[in-house]
Amino acid sequence: MSPDKIPNRIFIKLLLGFWLCSSIIIAAVGLLPLLQQKHDRAPLPQHLENLLSRQANRISEEPKLLEQQNLRRLNHRRNFKGKPVRLYLVDDQGRVMNTDKVSRGLRRFMLMADEVDQPISHQFKNELLFGPYNFDVLGRQYSLFGRLADHHPRPWFFFFAENKLLTLGLAITLSGLLCGLLAWHLGRPLRTLKLSANALANGDLTCRVDDETTNRKDEIGQLAQAFNSMADSVENMVNSQQRLISDISHELRTPLTRLQLALALSRKKGHESAEISRIGYEAELLEKMIAELLELSKVKLNANESKRHLGLAETLGQVLDDAEFEAEQQQKKLLIDISEEIELPLYPRPLSRAIENLLRNAIRYSNSSVSIQTIEAQSKVMIEIIDDGPGIEDEKDLKAIFKPFYRPQSARERESGGWGLGLAIAEAAILAHQGQISAENIQPHGLKITINLPTI
């Protein structure tokens, strides 16, 4: 069956889920009166019928017991299987003959039995009433009722029938639980899809939806499979693009090397002119740009390197020494505050290159000082690089400066001969660590670069 002909399983799940939930609640509430009615009109048990039958036979055999002075003998309590039992004699006018004190429960039971028109038993909270047993004495009809005066727990459903507000609350709670279970069943894989999509958007091209979600037999499973297929295509295209850039950069180096060799031979022969000097200068710039393109490609492809658990200060040691020396040459101060105890999984070379680019950029545009410091937080390390330079005038450029070949029209780029690849290399290296990098202006002036790296 083609995917287009497969029934909408999400629709079916939602329909069945809500239908089942509402049906259970309606059935439970609707059955309570029926259960109560069935229990109220339960047939008279045989042992209780035998009890009434023996007493009726006794009265039939001794009609004098119906005389007023002898009725008190019927009013006495008797024992039935160790429990006190009391009998009530009713004439054909519905009057109780052997007592003047008729309880409300007995009256209620007599009306209930009259409606049913057959012997029944009914269990109240503290007593069990049963009857009637009809018999004739001297041409008149009489009925016997019995009461077992003992604590008889009522069925559990009577509690709900008598406490309607509580029953309503329980029904709402039960429906909430069932709907919550359905929502969890549908929402959990959607959250997984969201996390995978966010990871892919943040540069983790290897992230995929887990097998549990892709193996589902509904539209969510089909969506997860489509997402993984899309992620495979995106990863292949991005990697192909980076390999293409790397291959082109390598190929450009061959004619560039020949050009530089030709310039060197020309100068050796004494052919020096302003044009030749300009060609040599542009060739050097082209060589540097190709080198940075290759570096960007390597960082994004993360070629031939695996993560290692290393100390941050040790990894950046050489980079920090070089940056400190460069700052001294420009009569500027570099403040370093990196704890020796910080360790985390990292790619040493890409991270070192990223910090080097950021520090050199900060030193170049600072007025007098640059600082680099680390802050440990829960499951991450934050690295801050702060300079006291002019910052970036246009706030829109703060996010765009990490794009390849992007050069903001600000004080930071007025004297720059770069191509906007240094910060792109830094961002690619941080994303390879599943980290984040951002820039913000600080007051009264300066720029702060913040890097967040996971420690697990």
Tell me phi and psi for residue 244, to 5 degrees. Answer: -65, -45
Q: How many CB atoms lie within 10 A of CB 78?
A: 13
Cis peptide before 444 (omega within 30 of 0): yes
- 10 Å CB burial of residue 299 (0-12, 13-18, 19+) is buried
Q: Residues near 117 by Cβ (< 8 Å), separated by ≥ 6? A: none
Encode 81-99: b = buried (16+ Cβ within 10 Å), e = exposed. eeeebbbbbbeeeeebbbb
Distance CA 106, CA 125 (A): 13
Q: Give catalytic status of residue 250 as yes or no.
A: yes
Distances, alpha carbon 101 to alpha carbons 19, 418, 425, in Å: 53, 110, 100
Instruction: Give the closest residue to 52 by CA, choosing from 129, 128, 146, 118.
Output: 146
Q: Which entry of 152, 185, 250, 309 is annotated as an active-site residue?
A: 250
Catalytic (active-site) positions = 250
